[in-house]
Amino acid sequence: MRRSIATVSLSGTLEEKLAAAARVGFDGVEIFESDLVSCPASPTEVRLRTCDLGLDIVLYQPFRDFEAVPGDLLDVNLRRAERKFAVMADLGVDLMLVCSNVAPGTIDDDDLAAEQLHRLAERAASNGVRIAYEALAWGRQVADYAHAWKIVDAADHPNLGVCLDSFHILSRGADPAGIRDIPGQKLFFVQLSDAIPILMDVLRWSRHYRCFPGQGGFDLTGFVEHVLATGYRGPLSLEVFNDVLRQADAERTATDALRSLVALEESLRRRLEASTAGPGAWGRRRVQARDEVELAAPPAPVEPSGFAFVEITVDPLAEMAAELLLRDAGFAHVASHRTKSVRMWQQGEARVLLNRTRPSHKDWPRGGAAVSAIAVESPEPGRSADRAKQMLAPATPRSRGPDEADLFATAAPDGTEVFFCRTAPVDAATRPPDSWLGDFDQQVIDDLAGGGTIARVDHVALSQPPYYFDEASLFYQSVLGLLRHDSVELADPHGLVRSQALTSAGGAIRLVLTVPAIGGGLLPESAHFQHIAFACHDIFAAAGAMRNRELPVLAIPGNYYDDLAARLDLDRSRIEPLRAHGILYDRDGGGEFFHFYTTMLGRRMFFEFVQRVNGYQGYGASNTPVRMAAQYRHMAMAGLIP
């Protein structure tokens, strides 16, 4: 399908918006009037620029408060429309969006609205213009798309049709199935946006909290399926009003936007392919859409079997500290990269690479450490990489020695590199070219079998820059095929932090994304935190062994255990072992969760050790505020916080 975006969805001036949309690969744009009004170039000059960029102008909008008005106002409104038709002629666009009247004086008379829209359509026709009438969710008399269609149907003019905007329909809880009653040739335009589910005044919701498909709560796949069933074959256009995107980089937003459309098309294609002709007109039209409409078809996600490794970038100070932490936690240094300053530490199936070569550390504090890459263990790394590329994941340029594995790497929006790879046992003669282990000189790997208290990486938690959460979540969902879970809000002493888990279908990959609730102000320290959580076979044994090796464990206040006992009605025999080991506890249905933390490794990182019992699926969120307060105190007292 043709892919379009409204200029209001991107930041910058008109010329900057057009350039971003074109560079990323959109086919068309809707021109928002205020962008043109603020532009020193004439409409003709804008047309030429757009043409040069290979973009179609698919819509001019909005034309407001036209219909169902007293006669004298109609004349004024028609004059206003004529002036805009002239602008549109210069712009080279023939479709104008007219949104339903919101003025207090709007007359509640569908016949009058139809008659006046007919008049407008006649004028439009003589100017070569078509009118797409849209019901705003807060329209004075017309707020529902079926109502708008009824009026358009009654007006009965070939240059008059409807525009459907998913926000205005789904925000009101209207059933989108009624879309099928509109003939495709009268459906002139379709605008898509998602929105985070909040109960609020719909106008405010619309103007500030829209987002791209897949980032909110609407079923846009179902919505577009209805649209296609009408026979509509025009563009899908993203119209997203969002405070954050207005303040973001336009090209970054455009990439995010296009990715959301690709993911939507994929989901739509799957749904249409699963459909059969069936007996009714609806089934036939679905099949027709499936055969006629060209939709993105990336390879299906490959189910990963875990983390192949997690890479931490360190400076020399942090490298030593990380090695001591890992050793105290029972890890062994099992291999070193053949050409780079990268050492692999392993316990069970948990592999941590410490990379000292990668970053320019200039803006780091001393003792800098950060999760720089995660490697997804994939049975088919090539197919995973193909999917990533089709989901607009940018390939990261990599320097590779002649015998080294050819790993595809991409950069997530937060800067984390993501690899797809296979951890095949290495034999110099037969090693498959996609096993990354061959790049390392093996040392003591056999000694690990059966030993140790840690089984694998349970999850990796990655902080996101303020406001880039939706983009990151969509990236990990679409590129890695992860599922998102509900987000929670957690109180750091210096701000709320939002946290969301993303997991692969089988649960082998678990990521936790965190972001401060607001940007600006004094960001909490935890806004920068990242950590790796390791799954233990027996957390009490692990904690005991690690304490014996003097692993520095984050101290948990006694008040926490007193509250835990009160809150969960736990007796001394349950509480005291937790208190003695500094282990935090959570439960959820039948499941239980035990976990503890190391102190900080630099200003951003730490490790967690966890044990899940009876299918506990969470991350101990109720304990996170206690952890964050303890970390803040520890860091502040160590002089780490300026």
**Site for its own copies contains 208 (CB under 8 A):** yes
Which listed residue (4, 11, 230, 384) binds its own copies by CB under 8 A? 11
Q: Does 626 bind its own copies (CB under 8 A)?
A: yes
Within 8 A by CB and 6+ apart from 228, the residues are 268, 272, 285, 286, 289, 293
Q: Which stretch binds its own copies (CB under 8 A): 196-204, 230-238, 411-419, 433-441?
A: 196-204
Tell me: does residue 40 bind its own copies (CB under 8 A): yes
Q: Closest distance between its own copies and the C-beta of residue 179, in Å? A: 28
Q: Is residue 491 a contact point for its own copies (CB under 8 A)? A: yes
Applying CB under 8 A, which of residues 555, 580, 613, 641 lies at the interface with its own copies? 555
Least separation in angstroms between residue 555's CB and its own copies is: 7
**Contacts for 25 with CB less than 8 Å, ≥ 6 apart:** 3, 258
Judged by CB under 8 A, the stretch of 94-102, 193-201, 413-421, 504-512 that binds its own copies is 193-201
Contact between 1 and 293 (Cβ < 8 Å): yes
Contact window for its own copies (CB under 8 A) among 225-233, 422-430, 596-604, 627-635: 627-635
Q: What is the separation of C-alpha 164 from the centre of its chain, rounded to a whole number of angstroms?
A: 24
Rg of the chain taking only CA atoms, in angstroms: 29
User: Per rule CB under 8 A, is residue 562 in the interface with its own copies?
Assistant: yes
**Binding region for its own copies (CB under 8 A) out of 75-83, 102-110, 116-124, 132-140:** 75-83
Nearer to its own copies, 426 or 584 (CB): 584
125 belongs to the binding site for its own copies (CB under 8 A): no
From candidates 521, 549, 576, 580, binder to its own copies by CB under 8 A? 521
Is 105 a residue that touches its own copies (CB under 8 A)?
no
Take residue 100 and report the two structure tokens written for it.
Answer: 């339903």
Min separation Cβ 49 and its own copies, Å? 14
Kindly report the backbone phi and psi dihedral angles of residue 278, in degrees, each rounded to the nearest multiple of 5, phi listed first.
65, 180
Binding span for its own copies by CB under 8 A among 30-38, 317-325, 350-358, 479-487: 30-38
Residue 486 main-chain phi, psi, to 5 deg: -60, 145
Rounded least distance, CB 208 to its own copies, Å:
8
Q: Specify the amino acid at residue 475.
A: F
Q: How far apart are the first and last CA of the chain?
A: 52
Binding mask 460-479 for its own copies (x = CB under 8 A): -----xxx------------
Longest dimension (CA), the chain: 91
Answer for which of 4, 30, 43, 187 binds its own copies (CB under 8 A) is: 43
Comparing CB distances to its own copies, the nearer of 243 and 447 is: 243
Residue 399 is a binding residue for its own copies (CB under 8 A): no
| 367 near its own copies, judged by CB under 8 A | no
Closest CA to 500 of 518, 478, 483, 525: 483
Helices 14-24 and 250-273, packing angle to 10 deg: 40
The arrangement of strands across the sheet holding 350-355 comes to 408-411, 417-421, 369-377, 306-314, 350-355, 342-347, 332-337, 440-442
For its own copies, which residue of 274, 279, 450, 567 counts as binding (CB under 8 A)? 567
Residue 345 is which amino acid?
W
The three-state (H, E, C) secondary structure of 361-405, written as one string: CCCCCCCCEEEEEEEEECCCHHHHHHHHHHCCCCECCCCCCCCCC
379 binds its own copies (CB under 8 A): no
Query: What's the DSSP call for residue 232?
Result: -
Count of positions on this chain that bind its own copies (CB under 8 A)? 68
**Distance of closest approach, residue 324 Cβ to its own copies, in angstroms:** 25
Query: Which two tokens mark 306?
Result: 């875990």
Say whether residue 565 binds its own copies (CB under 8 A): yes
**C-beta separation of 241 from 208 below 8 A:** yes
Tell me how far CA of residue 521 lies from CA of 463, 466, 518, in angstroms: 17, 11, 8
Residue ranges that bind its own copies, judged by CB under 8 A: 11-13, 16, 33-34, 36-40, 42-43, 76, 79-80, 83-84, 87, 198-201, 204, 207-208, 243-244, 246-249, 465-467, 489, 491-496, 516-524, 555, 557-560, 562-563, 565-567, 569, 625-626, 629-630, 632-633
